Every structure is written in structure tokens, then in C-alpha cells.
Amino acid sequence: MKPYVYLIGAGPGDEDLITIKGLNAIKAADVILYDRLASPRLLKHAKATAELIDVGKSPNNHQYSQEEINRLLVEKAETAGIVARLKGGDPYVFGRGGEEALSLREAGIPFEIIPGITSAISVPSYAGIPVTHRNVSTSLHIITGNEAPTKGENTVNYEALARLSGTLVFLMGMANLQEIIKQLIKYGKSADTSAAIIHRGTTAKQQVVVGTMENIVALATESNIKSPAIIIIGEVVKLRETLNWYESLPLFGKRVLVTRSRQQAGELTGRLKALGAEAIEYPTIEIVPPEDFTAIDHKLMKICEAQYLIFTSVNGVEAFFHSLKRLKRDVRSIGEGRIIAIGTATAEALTAKGLLVDDIPEVFTAEGILQLLQGMIKKGDRVLLPRADIARKNLVEGLLKLGAEVEEIEIYRTIVPHHSKEELHRILKEGVDIITFTSSSTVNNFMAILEAENIGELQNIKIAAIGPITAATAKERGLRVDIEAKSYTIEGLVAAIREDIICQC
């Protein structure tokens, strides 16, 4: 085990603004020390065995001093191996990354700096403000705002700053906002210079106040805008009027909880983010292999005898092919059976494996499949049904009624992932606008984690269901379903959410 430390810039808040190199380092780390400003959501990429340490120094919850962090980095590298130090923005822009690197050098521990996207540039971008612009601003100055201009410790030269015509960006300046503006005006900067304050840029909580140096302090007080925020001064601010792209996205400002399994959340999360939402993954379901393969293998060996193969989920397809492979078999062993997929996603998964689907029902439910097969299935036809351990019984019952001989294969299991309830409560407390459910089990598991008596916490949150079965389960569990997809796919779910939000405006 060799000690090695990565000092990683995690970007300004939008978790996707990390670099590929930074993400790879998170994946490789044995220990991760992270900040309050670094997106905690990036931690989902960590190894399951990685130790995660929150060294965030929130104002009222002072946990680790800088010296302690420096020491911890050295200690963890020596005892555990690869350490990732995740810092907000860029590690070397007011991030004290230099101090951490120096202490690693002193201890003889090899390290690497992985630059990040600094808030100084990206936060204005997301507010529609380019930090430089031809004929408007030809330089950019990034300044610390936490040295009170009137106190003796101040090393910032306001007189020089006031003379600059470029864009001024102050970080950590909210406590000294009034003084910063006062000093700049005192040294001759025109009071009608445009100014903006951007709070928690690049996230759903982004809040922007725009004015001039003259009125920005009053406007900030009025709108109660708080730290963390950047202060930007210069005529580039005016471009926001036309270039404000992020806040114009249809789902901007919405925090949406995704309860799908980690492996499957990607498509939903990606579509929500593309519409400007902040998607928070909190999987309430985990797909795991069966405990015993004996019965499965026995049934799979006779697969070519089936007249119908019905797949009811993407997970079922994946697990089915996994099992075939384990038996050292492939698609050739399937025989002549008709291949049915419950919906388009399942059909696509089958096609990806080289199997063309014969039928997809009009309605993507078990009832839809039964309707499709009515009149098609003959008495005594063998139907193979690879499915989850918790699948609804109605498909089997319906097939039996049609005279089929049904061979069910419990090809995968679903479990509630190991989660802390605290994490869910923390997410809900931070504010969630919509919770998405993509199957009945996501509803049931979510409610099991939340516990029925805490249902009140969901009062102001909209519930979105992928289809009628999931919606019915949600209602049974006492939830009010506000959004229901018209076509029972991820795309349909996202379309329904979008429609609901647009209708409201």
C-alpha cells in the first residue's frame, strides 16, 4: 500500500461540473475528506469500502481546523493508501489547497492536484454573465472579500481595484458587502457600475440579485440573499438580461428525488438535469442475484421448450442473460419461442442482447400483456417468465386462465439498500419539490425507510408516478399522487413532470 493524495476541485455545486480526472480519483480513493461546498452527491461514486470524512467547517458546527485537516491527510495516506481531498471549486482558488499540498510535501507524501471549475467563473456563467466580453471587459480579477476593508489585517488594495476597468469578482464577501462597495466608490469607481450577487450558483437554489454599486447593498438586504455567494462588479452583468440560460430551463430550481436503483437511475437523472432540475439520487431499491441458482438453472436448461418468453423488466433481461452466460449458453439455446417485452425499455434491452422482440403490448403493464396474448396463446403452451422475487401475481394468474403452462423463474431479487434514515431526512429538510417513483417497490421501500408516521414531511412535495400501478401503490400507502405519466416510460414520466411545472407557471 502506497500513500498517495489527490487534491481535487469538485466544482461549484452542480455535481456534473467535476472533471473526468477528478471523478476517477474519487472512484479510486480509500478515504475521502470532503468539504461543505463540494457537492456531497459526488460521494456516490466512491468505493463501497471507502471511508468518508466530512471535514466541512460550517459556521456553527466547527469540526476540523485547517491544521487538523492537514494532519489527517498525512495520517490517512500513511495508514489507508489513496486519499481524495475533495474541495469546492478549484483547490487553489481561496481553497487553502496550497497549505495542504505544502504539508504533504513536508511529510514526503506524493500528491497530485486535480484542478476544478472555480465558482468565480462558473457561477456567473450559470447566471448568464460572461466574466469577460469583447469591448466590455478585458480582464478578470478574483478577490477575497473576507478581509474586512476597515480592519488592520486588510491586504487588499481597494484604491488599485477601483481603478481597474475589468470585471471584479469577490468571493467570501457577503459579510463585508457594504464595506467593499463603500471602499470602491470612495476610491473613484462609478456608483452606477453594474453589480450582481449570486447565491449558490449552478444549483437549484441559485438566487441572483442585480443592480448597481449604488443600490446593491439595499437590494441584497431586501431579498435576504446570503452566503455562500459571489459579488460581481462590472458592465458584463448587463449581459444577463439576454444570456440568462440556466434559469430559463423548464425545471430550473426544482429538486427532484430519484428513488430508482443506482444502476438504473442514470436515464431519469440525466433527463431531469437536461431540463435544469437538480436530481438527487436516493435509491430505495437494489437489484441483487438470487440466493440459490439450482431451480433457475434447471428451468433454463429447458428454455427451448417454451413457446413464449415474457420479459417484464430491464433487470429481468440483464439477469436472464447473466444466468445463461453462467450456464455457458447464449441466444442459440432459446429456440423458437415468441419473445414478448412489457414495454419499449425492456424491448431495447433485449435488442441490445441480440434478440428481436416479437410483440410489445399497447399498454405497458401485465394487464396489457394479457390483452395482447388473448386469442394468441393456445391451451398447453409453455410460457417462460423470468422475473423478480416480488413480482405481482396477476400476470401468472391471467396466463393460467388463458390455459398456458407457466414456468416462473425468480431470476433476480430486490432488496432495500443499506441507507441511513438520517440521510433521507437531511435531503427532505434541505428541500425537495418532487419525488419520483418508477415502480411499486420503490414506493413501498421508500415508505419503509421514511416510516408512516413521518408522512407529514412530504406535505409540500409532489409525488410523480411512472404509471397507474405505481400510482395505486402510492395511494394505498397514503400518498397523494400529483403527477402521473401518460406513457409508462422514463421519458413519459419526465414529460409529465415538465407539463405539470409549466402548467403551474
Instruction: Tell me how crowded residue 5 is: count the other CB atoms within 10 A of its CB.
Output: 26
Q: Please report whether residue 388 would count as binding ligand SAH according to CB under 6 A.
A: no
Taking the complex as a whole, the smallest distance from the CB of residue 278 to ligand SAH amounts, in Å, to 12
Asked whether the beta carbons of 312 and 338 are under 8 A apart, the reply is no
Instruction: Sort 81 into a burial class: Cβ within 10 Å, 0-12 / 13-18 / 19+.
Output: middle
Identified binder of ligand SAH from the candidate list 73, 104, 213, 229, rule CB under 6 A: 229
- Residue 137 DSSP code: B
Work out whether the CA dihedral 41, 46, 48, 50 comes out positive or negative.
negative
Asked whether the beta carbons of 490 and 502 are under 8 A apart, the reply is no
Q: Please report whether residue 346 would count as binding ligand SAH according to CB under 6 A.
A: no
Asked whether the beta carbons of 366 and 342 are under 8 A apart, the reply is yes
Q: Please report whether residue 257 would count as binding ligand SAH according to CB under 6 A.
A: no
Distance, in Å, from the CA atom of 130 to the CA atom of 278, rounded to the nearest integer, reads 23
Q: Please report whether residue 202 would count as binding ligand SAH according to CB under 6 A.
A: yes
Binding segment toward ligand SAH, per CB under 6 A, in 198-206, 245-253, 373-381, 391-399: 198-206
Taking the complex as a whole, the smallest distance from the CB of residue 199 to ligand SAH amounts, in Å, to 6
Q: Which residues are catalytically annotated? A: 35, 57, 172
* Between 3 and 228, CB nearer to ligand SAH: 228
- Block residue for cell numbers 460572461: 130
Q: Please report whether residue 234 would count as binding ligand SAH according to CB under 6 A.
A: no
Q: Please report whether residue 86 would count as binding ligand SAH according to CB under 6 A.
A: no
Q: Please report whether residue 492 would count as binding ligand SAH according to CB under 6 A.
A: no
Binding segment toward ligand SAH, per CB under 6 A, in 77-85, 195-203, 282-290, 387-395: 195-203
Asked whether the beta carbons of 357 and 282 are under 8 A apart, the reply is no
Instruction: Tell me how crowded residue 142 is: count the other CB atoms within 10 A of its CB.
Output: 17
* Between 119 and 444, CB nearer to ligand SAH: 119
* Between 229 and 496, CB nearer to ligand SAH: 229
Taking the complex as a whole, the smallest distance from the CB of residue 427 to ligand SAH amounts, in Å, to 18
Asked whether the beta carbons of 412 and 317 are under 8 A apart, the reply is no
Identified binder of ligand SAH from the candidate list 3, 40, 124, 228, rule CB under 6 A: 228
Identified binder of ligand SAH from the candidate list 29, 104, 225, 230, rule CB under 6 A: 230
Asked whether the beta carbons of 191 and 218 are under 8 A apart, the reply is no
Asked whether the beta carbons of 80 and 49 are under 8 A apart, the reply is no
* Between 131 and 369, CB nearer to ligand SAH: 131
Identified binder of ligand SAH from the candidate list 119, 176, 193, 470, rule CB under 6 A: 119
Distance, in Å, from the CA atom of 237 to the CA atom of 217, rounded to the nearest integer, reads 16
Q: Please report whether residue 33 would count as binding ligand SAH according to CB under 6 A.
A: no
Q: Please report whether residue 177 would count as binding ligand SAH according to CB under 6 A.
A: no
Q: Please report whether residue 88 would count as binding ligand SAH according to CB under 6 A.
A: yes
Distances (CA, A) of 182 to 8, 76, 165, 199, 217: 36, 45, 17, 21, 10
Taking the complex as a whole, the smallest distance from the CB of residue 349 to ligand SAH amounts, in Å, to 38
**Binding residues for ligand SAH, total number by CB under 6 A:** 24
Ranges within 143-162 binding ligand SAH (CB under 6 A): none
Q: What residues contact residue 53 under an 8 Å CB cut-off, 6+ apart?
A: 31, 32, 33, 34, 72, 76
Q: Is 380 left (phi over 0), alpha (psi -120 to 50) or beta?
A: left
Q: Which residue number has the CB closest to ligand SAH?
A: 89
| Phi and psi torsions of 116, nearest 5° | -125, 170
Q: Please report whether residue 342 would count as binding ligand SAH according to CB under 6 A.
A: no
Identified binder of ligand SAH from the candidate list 6, 34, 94, 321, rule CB under 6 A: 94
Identified binder of ligand SAH from the candidate list 200, 271, 387, 498, rule CB under 6 A: 200
Q: Please report whether residue 343 would count as binding ligand SAH according to CB under 6 A.
A: no
Q: What residues contact residue 264 under an 8 Å CB cut-off, 6+ apart?
A: 287, 314, 315, 438
Q: Please report whether residue 37 would count as binding ligand SAH according to CB under 6 A.
A: yes
Q: Please report whether residue 201 would count as binding ligand SAH according to CB under 6 A.
A: yes
Q: Can you give the binding site for ligand SAH, defined by CB under 6 A?
A: 12-13, 37, 88-90, 93-95, 118-120, 123, 171-172, 198-202, 227-230
